Homo-oligomer: A and B are copies of this chain.
Amino acid sequence: MVTIYDIAKKANVSAMTVSRVINNSGKTKESTRKKVEQAIKELGYVPNSVARGLISKQTKTLGLILPDISNPFFAKLARGAEDKAHELGYRVILSNTDEDASKELNYMDMVLSARVDGVLIAPTSDHSLEQINRLRAQDIPVVLIDRTIEGFTGDYVLGDSYEGSRKLMEHLIEQGHHNIAFINGPSNISTARERLRGYLETLRLNELPVYEHYITEIDFKSIQAGDTKKNIEQLLALPSTKRPTAIFAANNFIAISTMRALKELGMKVPEDISVVCFDEVEPVVYFDPFFTVASQPAQEFGRIGIQFLVERLDGKTIQKDRKIVLSPDIHLRKSTRPIK
C-alpha cells in the first residue's frame, strides 16, 4: 500500500510537503505541487483515512441506526441520508436493530469503537436514551430520526404523527365510520403515542365513544410472526353491531399484515371493511395506488437529519436544539369507502 513517504521519495520532497499538497493547506510552490501530483497519479496513491482519523479525531464516518432497511420507509430514509452524507463528504455505516434494544446496544458499541463522528438513529424505545447518553458522553452528536424519546434534548426530524392520525380519522368519520379499530405499534415508541393521541382526540372532537377493545398494540416481531391475525380475529369476533367498519393501521407493515389477515379471513377491502395507514406501501403506489395513507417524506427525513448532524460537527456553534416536524400528505385512495 502506497504511503505519503513513497510519494515523497518519488517526488524528492518531504512527507510534509506531500501532506500539504493533498490537503491544499499551507503554501506550496506550483512546481513542487505538480511534481507531487504527478507522483500521486503514477503510484495510484489514495490517502489513508484511518491514519488521518487517528490524528485528527475525525473519521468522516457517520452511524445510521434504523429498525429495518427492508422496510421501504426506512430504505428511502437511508437513501436520503446516504446521499446527503456523501454530498457533505461523509461515509455511512448502516445498522438494523429490528426494534430490539440489545441489538441496538450492540450497534452502539460498534459505532463507538468505529469512532464515528455522529449518529443518526431511529431509537427502539425510550430506553435508548441511556445508550444515546453514552455517545453524548464521548462528545458524539446524535440526531433522532422518525421518533423522539422522552427526556431527549437535541435535534430531531420527525413526521407529524398526531396530525396524520387526526386527518386519517377525520376522513373515516366523514365517510360515516363510527366504529374504528386502531392497531398501533408499541407505545414505547413516540410515533405510536402520537398516533394514539390523534385517534383519541378525533373521537373526542366528534363526540364518539372510545371502545378500549378497539385499540390494540402489536410489535415488530409479532408482525413478522403473523400475529396481526389474532388482533383481527378478536375484532371480527365482536357481535355484528359492535364490529368495526374500519381499521386504522399505525404503519405500513401493520397495514400489510392486516390486509393479509383480512384476506385469509375472507374479508374484502374496502367492501367489507375500510383500512387506512401511515406510510406509503411502495413501490406499487406508483402504478396502483390502493391504500388511503398518511404519506411521509422519508427521503427528506434522512437528508435533513444528516444535515443537522453535520452542522453540529462543523459549526459546533449551534446552541439551540432544532426540532423539525414534517407534515404527512394524506392520499385518499381505494382502501376506504363511505358507509350508510
Contact = CB atoms under 8 A, between A and B. Distances in A.
Contacts of A44: 134, 137
Interface in A8-52: 44, 46-51
Range for the number of chain A residues in contact with chain B: 35 or more
Nearest to A77: B70
Given A260-B286, A287-B259, A287-B263, A79 B96 contact: yes
A312 interface: no
A91 B69 contact: no
A113 interface: yes
Contacts of A205: none
A53 interface: yes
> How many copies altogether?
2
Nearest to A107: B86
B75 A94 contact: no
A82 B69 contact: yes
A281 interface: yes
Nearest to A103: B86
A148 interface: no
Contacts of A287: 256-257, 259-260, 263
B283 A252 contact: yes
Contacts of A54: 48, 50-51, 54
A75 B287 CA distance: 20
A50 B59 contact: yes
B96 A82 contact: yes
Interface in A235-290: 252-253, 256-257, 259-260, 263, 281-284, 286-288, 290
Contacts of A109: 46
A177 interface: no
Interface of A: 1, 44, 46-51, 53-54, 57, 59, 61, 64, 68-72, 75-76, 78-79, 82-83, 86, 91-96, 106, 109-110, 112-115, 134, 137-138, 252-253, 256-257, 259-260, 263, 281-284, 286-288, 290, 299
Given A44-B137, A93-B94, 11 more contacts: A46-B109, A46-B113, A50-B50, A79-B96, A94-B94, A253-B283, A256-B284, A256-B287, A257-B286, A257-B287, A263-B288
